[in-house]
Amino acid sequence: MALSTDVGRIRTVFSQYSTNSTTLTRKEYKTAALAISGYKPSKAMVERLFRDLSMGDGGMDIDTFTSVQLEQAKLRSTSETLKQIFQSFDWSGNGLSVKRILPGGKGGDATYTGGGELFDKADWDHDGRVSWRDFLGLMGVS
């Protein structure tokens, strides 16, 4: 979907859910965000968003809503891309083992010089495999 189409859709959703046509309340924001992404943000997330954007008791205007939703879409896209990359290596679905990802490790001991150290850095929780959480940490995503 093109960016202009996304913006148009976001603005349409804003208009549908804003009861006063100028701002969204916290409750209206939650419903509008759900309509756009299929994901209903938690009360804590909405409170933090309104606080961080200095909304106070006021509502969220259409430009702010559009910016927030476009940023959320970028984050969802990045997360989906990272998940696809991780899954392309995680054939078994239970995390990446050192034997599966290092050259020469085809079921035997890893023979790649320095590979063990690299794996140890990626295996943040030291359980012998690189989990999705480990992978996100390695990619700099919390």
Burial pattern 14-46, b for ≥16 Cβ within 10 A else e, equals: beebbeeeebbbbebbbebbebbeeeebeeeeb
pLDDT tens series, the chain, 142 aa? 444 458 899 999 999 999 999 999 999 999 999 999 888 888 888 988 888 887 666 789 999 999 999 988 887 777 777 888 777 777 677 776 654 454 544 444 444 444 567 677 777 777 777 787 787 777 776 5
Nearest CA to 69 out of 36, 43, 39, 38 is that of 36
Q: Is the whole-model pTM more than 0.75?
A: no
**Please, are residues 23 and 61 in contact by the beta-carbon 8 Å criterion?**
yes
